[in-house]
Structure 1
Amino acid sequence: MLTYLASGERSYDRAPQKPWPRESWELMSVTSGKIRLSLDNKIETARGRTLWVIPPGLRHSWLGDKGRSAEIVVFHLDHLAAPIGDWVKRHGWIALDLTSENCARLQELHRQAEPEWLRPGVLTSLRWSRLGLDLAILIGELAHLTPFEERKLPGTTVEKAMTIFSEHLNEGWTLDQVSAALAISSVHLRRLFRQVLQSNPQQVFENIRLTRAKNLMMLHDVKLEEVAVECGYQNGAILSRAFKRRFRVSPSAWKGKSNRGRKPLSLS
Structure 2
Amino acid sequence: MLVYFSYGRRRYFEEPIRGQVRLFWEFQAVVQGAIRRTLSDGSGAALLQESTLWLSPPGSTHGWSGKPRQPATIVVFHFRYIPEVLAQCLGGGREARISLTGEDCRRLRRLAGQVRSYWDHPAPGMMLCYEHALMELSLLVYESLGRDGHRTGQRVHARVQGALSWFSARMRDNPGLDEVARAIHVSPAHLRRLFHESFQNSPREIFDQLRFQRAMQLLTDTDLPVGEIALACGFEELSSFSRAFKRRFGSSARELRSGARMVPVGHPLEGH
Which residue identity is paired with 1:12? Y
Q: Judge conservation of contact 2:34–2:50 (CA < 8 Å) in 1.
A: yes
In structure 2, the residue matched to 1:12 is 12
2:33 is the counterpart of 1:27: no
Q: Secondary structure at the match of 2:49?
A: coil
Q: Judge conservation of contact 1:36–1:43 (CA < 8 Å) in 2.
A: no
Offset from partner CA, 1:95-139 (integer Å, 9 cap, x none):
100000110111111111111111222332233222212211121
Which residue identity is paired with 2:122? P
Percent identity (aligned): 30
- With normalisation by structure 2, the TM-score equals 0.50
Offset from partner CA, 1:41-96 (integer Å, 9 cap, x none):
73411110000001111111100124422111111111111111233354621110
In structure 1, the residue matched to 2:90 is 88
Q: 1:132 aligns with which of 131, 134, 139?
A: 134
Tell me, in whole angstroms, the C-alpha distance in 2 between the residues paired with 1:16 and 1:124: 30
Q: Judge conservation of contact 2:37–2:46 (CA < 8 Å) in 1.
A: yes
In structure 1, the residue matched to 2:104 is 102
Tell me, in whole angstroms, the C-alpha distance in 1 between the residues paired with 2:68 and 2:90: 29
Q: CA RMSD in A?
A: 2.1
Which residue identity is paired with 1:16? P
Q: Judge conservation of contact 1:21–1:59 (CA < 8 Å) in 2.
A: yes
Aligned residue-pair number: 148
Q: Judge conservation of contact 2:14–2:68 (CA < 8 Å) in 1.
A: no
Offset from partner CA, 1:212-260 (integer Å, 9 cap, x none):
xxxxxxxxxxxxxxxxxxxxxxxxxxxxxxxxxxxxxxxxxxxxxxxxx
Q: For the structure 1 residues 61 and 25, does the alpha-carbon distance in structure 2 shift closer, same or farther, using more than 3 Å as the test?
A: same
Q: Secondary structure at the match of 1:49?
A: strand
Tell me, in whole angstroms, the C-alpha distance in 1 between the residues paired with 2:45 and 2:55: 16
Tell me, in whole angstroms, the C-alpha distance in 1 between the residues paired with 2:37 and 2:91: 17
Q: Judge conservation of contact 2:89–2:142 (CA < 8 Å) in 1.
A: no
Task: Select the structure of larger CA radius of gyration.
Answer: 1
- With normalisation by structure 1, the TM-score equals 0.51
2:120 is the counterpart of 1:118: yes
Q: For the structure 1 residues 17 and 118, does the alpha-carbon distance in structure 2 shift closer, same or farther, using more than 3 Å as the test?
A: closer
Which residue identity is paired with 1:57? G
Q: Judge conservation of contact 1:29–1:52 (CA < 8 Å) in 2.
A: yes
In structure 2, the residue matched to 1:141 is 143
In structure 2, the residue matched to 1:76 is 78
Structure with more relative contact order (C-alpha pairs < 8 Å, separation 6 or more): 2
Which residue identity is paired with 1:83? V
Tell me, in whole angstroms, the C-alpha distance in 2 between the residues paired with 1:70 and 1:9: 5
Task: Point out 4+ residue stretches in structure 1 off by more than 3 angstroms.
Answer: 40-43
Q: Secondary structure at the match of 1:20?
A: strand
Tell me, in whole angstroms, the C-alpha distance in 1 between the residues paired with 2:45 and 2:24: 21
Tell me, in whole angstroms, the C-alpha distance in 2 between the residues paired with 1:17 and 1:104: 25
The unaligned stretches of length 5 or more in structure 1 are 151-268
Q: Secondary structure at the match of 1:45?
A: coil
Q: Secondary structure at the match of 1:33?
A: strand
Tell me, in whole angstroms, the C-alpha distance in 1 between the residues paired with 2:136 and 2:119: 17
